[in-house]
Amino acid sequence: MWLIVGLGNPGAKYEHTRHNIGFLTLDRLVGMTGAHPLSSSSFHGKLFKSGQTLFLKPETFMNRSGVAVQAVKQFFKIDLEQIVVIHDDLDLPFGAVRFKQGGGNGGHNGLKSIDAMVGQDYIRVRMGIGKPVYKSQVIDYVLSDFTPEQMRVLPLWIEHAAKATLELTRHPVDRVASLYSIRKPAWETP
């Protein structure tokens, strides 16, 4: 069984923010696969299932994402190596997509929480959101909406990341990375 987790913050206020790219991509995955909701409040999030794959949107805030991941992992007895986490990444330009297994959290509070609750050896789908000019602007930047120009290409980017994420359940990370990584996005953004 696989667990695919999209990171974000719950609520309409955060729906189209940069920090919620994981949620937006997970929504697309649920639609692509026809996954159906599973009902249980003990998972601390919205959980969907399609075949042997579970899809999770934690309803905790970002810095407590690990609580939801741990609950689902333990209940379904999922190996850490079969967990995929989709998240925003400040260190990559907007529109980039990279993949890795294990590693550090890069200061990302959602990853810090997951690392603390279940360990680090899960697969990451890193979606680049770029970064602000000054480090002091990071919180406002990640919690702000995508620009209108970025919103125009968002569906293409999300579709690409969603397809690549599904491939991670079928092929090794290295193979998916070689086929689906986007280092320098083809589209132009300000």
DSSP string, 85-122: EEEEETTS-TT-EEEEES---TT-HHHHHHHHHH-S-S
In a domain, 186, yes or no: no
| Of 86, 89, 55, the residue nearest 161 (C-alpha) | 86
Sign of CA dihedral 144, 149, 155, 160: negative
Mark out the alpha helices in the chain (DSSP H runs): 21-33, 65-76, 109-118, 138-142, 148-168, 173-180
Look up the CATH number of the domain holding residue 161.
3.40.50.1470
Is the pLDDT at 85 greater than 60, yes or no?
Answer: yes
pLDDT of residue 176: 97
Reading the block at residue 48, the tokens are 């969907």
In a domain, 60, yes or no: yes
Q: For this structure, is 36 an active site residue?
A: no
Label residue 39 by pLDDT band (50, 70, 90): confident
The structural domain count of the chain equals 1
pLDDT of residue 190: 46
Label residue 184 by pLDDT band (50, 70, 90): confident
Is the pLDDT at 157 greater than 90, yes or no?
Answer: yes
Label residue 77 by pLDDT band (50, 70, 90): very high
Is the pLDDT at 111 greater than 90, yes or no?
Answer: yes
pLDDT of residue 189: 47
In a domain, 190, yes or no: no
Domain residues for the domain of 168 are 2-180
Environment class of residue 186 by beta-carbon count within 10 Å: exposed (0-12), middle (13-18) or buried (19+)?
A: exposed
Residues 89-115 have a mean pLDDT of 95
In a domain, 185, yes or no: no
Is the pLDDT at 121 greater than 50, yes or no?
Answer: yes
Amino acid present at 162 = A
Catalytic residue among 19, 44, 87, 108: 19
